[in-house]
Structure 1
Amino acid sequence: MRWQSLWPSFWPVESRVEKIVSRLAPTPNGELHFGNLFNFILTWSHVRNHGGKLWLRFDDIDQSRCEQRYIDQTKKFLEYIGLDWDDEFSKQYNCLSEYKFALSRLPQYQCDCSRKQIQERASSHFYDGFCKNRNLACTTGEYAIRFQNSKLEQEDFILWRKEAIPAYHLTSVVDDLRLGVNVIIRGEDLLDSSLAQNEIYRLLKDSNSSPWKIYHHQLILSDKGEKLSKSRNDGELFKLMLENISPRVIMGELAKRLGQNESKFQSVDDFLALRIEDFSTELQLN
């Protein structure tokens, strides 16, 4: 199969249009927190201010962790606060053949290392390339597949998990290409993810693909100064909605956490006045 033969059904016409196309890309595995909300509003306002297109994309490839109820609640919450989107994409597990085809185009090798083994060898979670020259045979359910990175300062990250499903970096780039995404806005804690995904993007992009722009924004922290996390049950937005806390109060709380005058931010539309450059840094790609 030739990559170009997938063009009509795989990459849409949006990827050939020079307008801003971005996405909200939550993983439906828990309740949204104020950090998610900041990312959504910053992305939404940037797209709307430039007359672009906004996708709501659910990163739901891992069916053991993702639940339909979180997809439903996310959409209800966005509607509740008045944040709109133009199109939607979900059910990544229906696209396995496309992810496998993308995988076949990337430099790779098999790896049977566990996280514990990696940490014991390197005293960190940074993979040391142990399996790069072992020439392990492909065995589903036993080995992961890693990207063979030509940049020594970057890690050989996982493309395909031992559970026989594509990893986040691969699905994210393939879906961004599929949807014609050319602007990505994410938290500053995801810099390493951006560098990894840019390596995949460089190898998979078509001559018709629009150049990427990636922005990393400041994080909203907890009272303890920690990054907000679903795994620590920091999510509270669905609960606020179910308790009928008004969108005006929610927007004011977000503004306060951003160091803004909460009285000036009583609706989503009020955030259109904020500039992405005031909260984010553009990643210089090569």
Structure 2
Amino acid sequence: MDVSTNKENHAAPVGRFAPSPTGRMHLGNIFTAVLSWLSIRSRGGKWILRIEDLDPQRSKYEYARQLEDDLQWLGLTWDEGGIDDIGPHGPYRQSLRGDIYNQYLTRLKSTGLTYPCFCTRADIMATQAPHQSDGRVIYKGTCRPEEFPSCEPLQEPARRHATRLFVPNEEIEFNDGVFGKQHSNLATDCGDFILQRADGAWAYQLAVVVDDGLMGVTEVVRGSDLLLSTAQQLYLYNLLEFKVPAYVHLPLICNTEMRRLSKRDQSLSMEALRLCYSPDEIIGHIAALANLIPSYSPCSLKELIKLFSWDKIPKTMSIVHGDISQ
């Protein structure tokens, strides 16, 4: 399946930034937000802020409030969304969108392509070695019925279970805005994946496709660590008959130990950055990392709009130190 994107769509583009409120944002999060914002603003489009708080144990309302404040401090204004916005496509907190996800799960169940799964994570890890060297675990189909996919929906068991989606042995191809042509086999590279966990929590793959589809997102900008999940999402776009967005995956920003930034990198958290640097200094550092300017120099978002181009973005990871002015 060669999946076309909306890059040739002449309507005003719609982008989104969808952080998880599980702690303070770091430089890598802001790198993604800035480039997404610049891409949309350079073409006169709309930028949405969505709060991906599917993890009830780690997500906190106060973290969402703080990330909104950090974005506003940097000048990254949004046109729609945020933690308390209710329309036109609200709510914009995934934890409040369960009824919407359930509608689309019901639609997928009606295709006969879903089945109940009783495997625990421990079961799956014990029966399948990690895929290649990236740590992925491909589900072996332990709970898949013998005659499947079915021509009609399977009966829901009373016993608690997750819901999985069958994937065919089929290649998915798409063009990424930075890394070019990509292809992945759904069966061998992805495997049947979960739509809803046994505890009722919604899986990221379903939630992100439903949200982007309903919100009219035409461009998804995110880190290259999510590149492999794109095939699963494109498969869902096709089943749910949503228009496919353009995908742009960014090279990761790593610390001096060559590990991608996380919320544990306190020296590069927004809390530390705001104490040491002005918004223009942080934006200037991101612009230099993205090759939008030849070397580090403080600059404003407004200045960068006219300099922005996806063709300038590097394909290799960047290593950053605690002092971003170096």
TM tier, smaller = 0.7 to 0.9
Q: 1:38 to 1:95 in 2, by over 3 A?
A: same
The 1-side partners of 2:142 and 2:14 are apart by 39
Equivalent in 308, 314, 324 of residue 274 of structure 1: 308
The 2-side partners of 1:71 and 1:63 are apart by 13
Is 1:217 aligned with 2:250?
yes
Is 1:54 aligned with 2:47?
yes
Displacement of 1:157 in angstroms is 1.4
Is 1:133 aligned with 2:133?
no
Q: Secondary structure at the match of 1:197?
A: helix
The 1-side partners of 2:201 and 2:267 are apart by 28
Higher helix fraction (1 or 2): 1
Partner of 1:64: 57
Is 1:150 aligned with 2:173?
no
The 2-side partners of 1:183 and 1:138 are apart by 39
The 1-side partners of 2:145 and 2:266 are apart by 41
Is 1:74 aligned with 2:110?
no
- The root-mean-square deviation of aligned C-alpha atoms, in Å, is 2.5
Matched-pair contact (CA < 8 Å) for 1:31–1:70: yes
Instruction: State the one-letter code of the partner of 1:129.
Output: G
Displacement of 1:234 in angstroms is 7.3
Q: Secondary structure at the match of 2:206?
A: helix
Q: 1:17 to 1:99 in 2, by over 3 A?
A: farther
**Sequence identity percentage:** 31
Matched-pair contact (CA < 8 Å) for 2:288–2:296: no
Partner of 1:84: 77
Q: Secondary structure at the match of 1:162?
A: coil
Q: Secondary structure at the match of 1:216?
A: strand
Equivalent in 169, 176, 199 of residue 163 of structure 1: 199
Q: Secondary structure at the match of 1:277?
A: helix
**Which portions of structure 1, spanning 4 or more consecutive aligned residues, are displaced by more than 6 angstroms?**
none
Matched-pair contact (CA < 8 Å) for 1:58–1:91: yes
Matched-pair contact (CA < 8 Å) for 2:263–2:269: no
The 1-side partners of 2:199 and 2:241 are apart by 27
Partner of 2:28: 35
Q: Which runs of 5+ in 2 are unaligned?
A: 1-8, 83-91, 131-136, 147-153, 170-186, 316-326
Partner of 1:193: 229
Instruction: State the one-letter code of the partner of 2:221.
Output: I
The 2-side partners of 1:222 and 1:277 are apart by 25
Matched-pair contact (CA < 8 Å) for 2:42–2:308: no
Q: Calculate the TM-score normalised by the size of structure 1.
A: 0.82
Is 1:230 aligned with 2:263?
yes
1:210-235 deviations in whole A, cap 9, x for unaligned? x4211111111111111112366676
Q: Which runs of 5+ in 1 are unaligned?
A: 1-15, 282-286
Displacement of 1:261 in angstroms is 4.0
Equivalent in 249, 270, 282 of residue 281 of structure 2: 249
Q: Secondary structure at the match of 1:105?
A: helix
The 2-side partners of 1:221 and 1:136 are apart by 47
1:119-174 deviations in whole A, cap 9, x for unaligned? 2211122211111127795457x421111112323321111012212111111111
The 1-side partners of 2:139 and 2:54 are apart by 23
Matched-pair contact (CA < 8 Å) for 2:24–2:63: yes
Matched-pair contact (CA < 8 Å) for 2:114–2:166: yes
The 2-side partners of 1:277 and 1:156 are apart by 35
Equivalent runs, 1:6-25 vs 2, <5 Å: 18-25=11-18
Instruction: State the one-letter code of the partner of 2:19.
Output: P
Larger relative contact order (C-alpha < 8 A, sep ≥ 6)?
Answer: 1
The 2-side partners of 1:212 and 1:224 are apart by 34
The 1-side partners of 2:203 and 2:48 are apart by 21
Displacement of 1:177 in angstroms is 1.4
Matched-pair contact (CA < 8 Å) for 1:110–1:137: yes
Q: Secondary structure at the match of 2:254?
A: coil
Matched-pair contact (CA < 8 Å) for 2:53–2:59: yes
Matched-pair contact (CA < 8 Å) for 2:281–2:298: no
Instruction: State the one-letter code of the partner of 1:94.
Output: L
